[in-house]
Amino acid sequence: MVDSTGNIAVLQMGEPNPAKNAALAGVVLGVGGYGEYIQEIYGIRNGIHGLLEEDFIDLQEEQRPTMEELRSVGAPGLGASVFAWAPASSPELLQTQMDKAFQVLEAHNIRYLIAIGGREAQEAVLQLHAEAMKRGYDLRANSVPVADSNELPQTDHCPGYGTAAKRAIAAMRALESDLLARKPGEVPCCVVETKGWFTGWDALAAAVGLRSGEIPCLAVIPERPVSLEGLVQKVEDKIREKGCCVVVVPDGARGPDGQAWAKSGFGWDYLGQPVGGSAGETVAEAAAARLQAYVSRVRLPALLRWDAGPASEKDLQEAYQCGEVVVQGSIHRQSGLMVKIQRPVLRPYRTFFLLHPIGEVLADWKRVPEEWYDSENMVPRDLFWDYLEPLLQGEVWMRFEKGVPAIPRLDAYPVPRKVDPTASAAS
């Protein structure tokens, strides 16, 4: 049943990934068939911060070609922000933020709100859904799970992971070529750091890039703790056998005692670089001490952050479809839900799109199945490749100007504010 007429607002959260913009295009262009119920389409700039600051743009004024070209760009078209709701330990500030948020929503008659992003986006929209229920405000708040870390459960995979994995594989193949071109023994070991505090999806995708076997690769995943001494021994054995070894280490690598290898005070800056020590640094230091040789270290997320390299057409198609599906679900009086991709079997590849309660999504992490990882040899099994390969298919067209990539941007026509700007709750 459809009975609400109003405006729709979209926000993006999290790190750069072209799938965020593909999902945005799916939402905006998918609204076209529901003009009877949706009057205006607003983009909220810089996530929750933009909602509290009433920083909206008019997405109906954007040209369709721009919306479609935007999917070749990693940076979110609506901007990014690390700002989130105040924690439960600050109930007064949280209440002030909610009061301001709903003042803004009501002033613009926003009855549909879509969040695009990873875990932080799911948490943000779930809080808005719960608050709307408490206040009796008719708001359909739903989400599209775009996360290159693939960490959200209940869905077969998160849009964005296919593109992130494809780019990681390309970077690893380039690294392999460079190492093979070196004088034997010049770089006996290279540690590649990836994201993944609780899950090993990024690490295994990177390891797939060295499937040729010319240079051995050991992949650590948080789901299967290993001792640092045991890992360094395997590295030494591989170097003795092949002359060189690559070790893929996620942020959340830890030992059998559950202690993370990242040093105290570990965190990231806005470039995705570690601050205060990292698991990769710990492994590199231990390997260098054992080998008495130079060990190089590469931070993969920083290399890929602005990469305009190969995106996955299949990945972006699915992100676009998720945008369309979330609009349909919102129109039909559904709220507090995330689009999920259902895949009955690994092969042949076919998918269905459904909606799932966000609360159940946030209850856990999507972990690598035990049978997809060879913990003895520390490599992904063929089952993981069967899972990943369909997500990598197709190339995304990019427009060039004077021989260099043209980076499209939204015109970003501002929507006039209706709420007193001095009543800010973002501090």
Q: What is the pTM of this model?
A: 0.93
- What span, in angstroms and rounded, lies between the C-alpha atoms of 343 and 324? 18
Return d(Cα 171, Cα 167) in angstroms, integer.
Answer: 6
pLDDT at 427 over 60: no
Q: Identify the DSSP state of 75.
A: S
- Beta strands 379-380; 373-374: pairing state: antiparallel
- CA 256 remoteness from chain centre: 28
For the ranges 20-34, 124-138, 213-227, 297-311, which has the lowest average pLDDT? 297-311
What's the pLDDT at 224? 95
- Percent of the residues in the chain that have a pLDDT greater than 70, as a whole number: 93
Strand-pairing partners, residue 44, are 11, 56
Closest of 74, 83, 160, 164 to residue 121, by C-alpha: 83
Q: What are residue 7's DSSP bridge partners?
A: 110
Domain positions in the chain: 6-150+310-364+395-405, 161-304
Say which CATH class 161-304 falls into: alpha beta
Cα separation, 276 vs 266, in Å, equals 5
Domain 6-150+310-364+395-405 and domain 161-304, same fold? Reply is yes
Look at 67-71, 133-137, 184-188, 346-350 and tell me which has the smallest mean pLDDT.
67-71
User: At residue 274, what are phi and psi to the nearest 5 degrees?
Assistant: -70, 145
Q: Which CATH code fits 6-150+310-364+395-405?
A: 3.40.50.450
Q: Which of 6, 54, 7 is nearest to 416 (CA)?
A: 54
In terms of pLDDT, which residue wins out, 152 or 396?
Answer: 152
